[in-house]
Homo-oligomer: A and B are copies of this chain.
């Protein structure tokens, strides 16, 4: 059989990982796909010594791929939601080449167009590496669970933010200190905005949601809240109550609407997701036919992500795409989206108040007015040992988010309330 000619655009962390794995385990892959792999071109901004790749064209600019066609499969490992990554992917598809990409930002923005274009060109797009690096979650949803209807997916999908939350609790340090540590240790990028503001999780969730529910990728419809304002105090109180705070991505169908929520939430610390710490990712899936599936692995890093890239290479190489029986896209039905203020669930409140008589009476009166039933309430000496202040920590039974907002507004207005109420959602995972 003909060699499989691959072109690699981008030799950053993931691209380098792919080259390392191809050096280490190339024969195993070639045996599995029944053909030799030939790297016909690499685009790398930095000049590097590509050992043993004497017949490979080395481009310093990925745009050179626009004038290059000697490949079957493009590996786009540059990143970025637009620009050259997008251009060379579209160019490759128009040339009827298969594409593998790890680019969640691009897919969450242009995925519908890209997958549709691939279908019309009768080629395949692999994007296992775009969600939860080393966890085969796309294959599980797309292929393994082909006979199931997916009910709900909850995931810890961003290693940087999970590292920060784990270390804050462990070391009792504040957000900024741990973020700086994470940068120093290489667990956070120079600009970690998308990791901590939830956008990276939202990119990944929008992709998973679309293949789970056969919908369009609709990133704009993801409700996103990040971890940038999380305080150690709340991690500690949550811990005392038996919870951890995790940045979750949750997608499910509620009342025929698609839920796509990203927020930090309290989860039982003994649950599987509650035990996913540090840079690990974890994903829980529920279907109509199976109880909870759980997957844990490294969500990022050169080799785990490259493992996902090369698993796509294997699948694409072995897929019988030429008979037009494989579609990249689902039915793309436009569905309604479940809005955050429709949420019905449990909540955690922390109310910093002056330690005066009648505070709890005032607060509980407001909660009662909005039909919010208290599950636990405890008053804590203020964390900063400021003796005329106390923290009142409340968890609720299930109630309506709309009412929680109204109640919070009123509690914020109480004379006794010293700071805006801190609220987190509580999730059963």
* Residues of A participating in the B interface, judged by any CB pair closer than 8 Å: 1, 20-22, 24-25, 28-29, 31-35, 134-136, 139-140, 142-149, 214, 272, 275, 287-298, 303-304, 306-308, 310-311, 314-315, 318-320, 322-327, 331
Contact = CB atoms under 8 A, between A and B. Distances in A.
21 contacts: A1-B325, A24-B147, A25-B147, A25-B148, A25-B288, A28-B147, A29-B147, A32-B142, A34-B327, A139-B139, A139-B143, A139-B144, A145-B307, A147-B311, A147-B314, A148-B307, A289-B307, A290-B304, A291-B298, A294-B295, A318-B319
A311 B134 contact: no
Given A294-B297, A297-B290, A310 B146 contact: yes
* 9 A-B pairs with the lowest CB-CB distances in the bound complex, closest first: A34-B325, A147-B310, A289-B303, A320-B320, A294-B296, A21-B147, A136-B144, A293-B297, A144-B311
Contacts of A34: 323-327
A20 B28 CA distance: 38
A289 B24 contact: yes
Nearest to A270: B275
A192 B152 CA distance: 34
B1 A323 contact: yes
A171 B169 CA distance: 34
Given A21-B289, A24-B288, A311 B32 contact: no
A24 B150 CA distance: 12
Nearest to A35: B325
B326 A143 contact: no
Given A275-B275, A298-B291, A307 B147 contact: yes
B325 A318 contact: yes
Contacts of A323: 1, 34
Nearest to A26: B147
Given A289-B304, A290-B303, 6 more contacts: A21-B147, A34-B324, A143-B311, A144-B311, A294-B294, A295-B295
A142 B315 CA distance: 11
A296 B285 CA distance: 11
Contacts of A319: 318-320
Contact of A275 (B21, B272, B307): B272
Most buried by B among A20, A144, A288, A320: A144
B289 A297 contact: no
A210 to B, nearest CB: 15
Given A24-B149, A324-B34, A292 B303 contact: no
Contacts of A324: 1, 34
Nearest to A291: B298
A266 to B, nearest CB: 19
A320 B315 CA distance: 10
Most buried by B among A34, A134, A287, A290: A290
Nearest to A134: B290
A303 B287 CA distance: 10
